[in-house]
Amino acid sequence: MTKKRARPVIAIDGPAGAGKSTVALKLAQRLGFVLVDTGALYRGVALAARERGIAWTDGVALGNLTATLDLSFEPRADGAPRLIIDGRDRSGEIRTPEISMGASDVSKHPEVRAALLGLQRRLGHDGGVVLEGRDIGTVVFPDAEAKVFLTASDHIRAGRRVQDLTSKGIAADQEKTLAEIRARDTQDSTRAVAPLKPADDAITLDTTQLDIDAVVEHLIALAQAKGA
């Protein structure tokens, strides 16, 4: 029998721009939980591969690279944790549209997914953690105490992404971002391994019309019902 965790694991999955990062951060802050942004790990692999001249199509080389990278998060009281790769903070560099698509490309390869699985499970092992990604409720923590699938219309998601990038000083165009989001949705949900989809026992919330703070309140109640 698996040992029960003292505090729950909260899995938040969904496509780009559905509000996962904002919701996960607020939820983790309110509950005093650790936040694990698993997309940042795939982004880190894409960035490291590009720097080493490894193609985002070369699954074997990417798998080997992933196994050698030292990936960790540095917690921050005032915001999202920083991604540290081999001792350097790369949080800013992983947020460009190019690396978004690269992360989706590298995430198709089973070698990369396998190399990141142990790390994600270790980070959530003791509970008291919010993990956000694409396959947390289905693959990484199928036994998570709370599973949420956030979604929203692609137009709304593209609009949020543009705002987000603009606020970080990265120029972004609505139509181009919409096309990128659609390409990433297709790629992430049709890949053979761990495709983006809600777990059978996930609660699906469509944030097209919902206020993000209302979503957070709803999820706090859910987490508390699960022992948070």
**Given the rule CB under 6 A, which of 54-62, 78-86, 132-140, 155-163 is the region that contacts ligand DC?**
132-140
Query: In the numeric block, which tokens belong to residue 30?
Result: 């309110």
Of residues 8, 18, 43, 178, which one binds ligand DC by CB under 6 A? 43
Among 52-60, 61-69, 102-110, 152-160, the segment contacting ligand DC (CB under 6 A): 102-110
135 binds ligand DC (CB under 6 A): yes
Interface with ligand DC, residue 151, by CB under 6 A? no
Is the CB of residue 21 less than 8 Å from the CB of residue 40?
no
CA angle (36, 24, 222) in 5-degree steps: 115
Enumerate residues 9-28 that contact ligand DC by CB under 6 A: 16
Query: Of residues 109, 157, 160, 184, which one binds ligand DC by CB under 6 A?
Result: 184
Of 39-47, 49-57, 74-82, 148-156: span binding ligand DC (CB under 6 A) = 39-47
Structure tokens at 94: 């992983």
**Residues in the site for ligand DC, rule: CB under 6 A?**
16, 38-39, 42-43, 100, 103-104, 107, 133-136, 184, 188
